[in-house]
Amino acid sequence: MSCLLRLDGVHFDYQGHRVLRQTSFDLEEGSCSALIGLNGAGKTTLLRIAAGVLRPASGSVSLNGRPMEAIPLKEVARTIALVPQQLELGFEFTVQQVVEQGRTPFIGMLRGPGRSDRIAVDRALDLADVSSLRHRVFNELSGGERQRVKIALGLAQQPRLLLLDEPTQNLDIGRQVELIDLLHFLRAEGITILASMHDLHLVDKNFSTVLLLSPGQPLASGSPEQMLKPSILERAFQCPPDRHPLLIERAELYRREAR
């Protein structure tokens, strides 16, 4: 299999704080990878760099063997779609109008959407199961509905690489299962997937590769069996067993002060 996206020695600083250091990985075409790590480890930053919306401070990002910065924005947008955690619209656009924006990289400035664009939008609405919401106002949807619309927006781009930032957030368990089914379906269609995930149960059975981000550590990667071990996870997620008594002691201290 060929390498679709490659990050090589990527550094990124945010407000003087190093978020990513020496981050390197290859995404094989057709793979389905989960990005895990504790809050603030840099998962969102990594996805934004992979999507080409952020430039790394140093290191290189290449898409299909070409440096990302040398590829026109529209071409990147026809290859990669990033489904973000948050999406807030300025006006009362309907779901259909929002998903139609996914066709932006395929539409010229003056030409309106054509037949292929309408088919792609319908298919995206259908796959993300939001066809019934198409005339609803996006800003008035619930968190779970918005999440599905965001995924439809990403699918309307017909990307070869789909990046998802915590796609299961706000989804009830039934919708989570649907999402995982959708990821399996997309993978079967040949779409490469990289999703940041919090729920490690879902990662275990459904992803081919796990990328683990820990603060101050280089990115580690391997199969779910290799990566999802208690020893690795406890260290990466900074949850040592002696933390709990410390909290109790601190709470006791506050209680005494309050008296």
Residue among 146, 96, 148 nearest 121 (CA): 96
Q: Residue 135 region, left (φ>0) first, then alpha (ψ -120 to 50), else beta?
A: alpha
Cβ distance 41 to 13 under 8 Å? no
Confirm or reject binding of residue 109 to another protein (CB under 8 A). yes
Residue 46 CB, nearest approach to another protein (Å):
15
For residue 115, give Cα distances in angstroms to 10, 71, 103, 112, 121.
40, 27, 12, 10, 10
Nearer to another protein, 21 or 106 (CB): 106
Confirm or reject binding of residue 168 to another protein (CB under 8 A). yes
First to last CA, the chain: 66
Nearer to another protein, 24 or 176 (CB): 176
Residue 102 CB, nearest approach to another protein (Å):
7
Confirm or reject binding of residue 132 to another protein (CB under 8 A). yes
Per-residue string for binding with another protein, 217-256, x by CB under 8 A?
A: ----------------------------------------
Sign of CA dihedral 128, 7, 26, 237: negative
Site residues, another protein (CB under 8 A): 48, 51-53, 72-78, 81-82, 84, 87-94, 97-98, 101-102, 104-105, 107, 109-110, 112, 132-137, 139-145, 157, 168-173, 175-176, 198-201
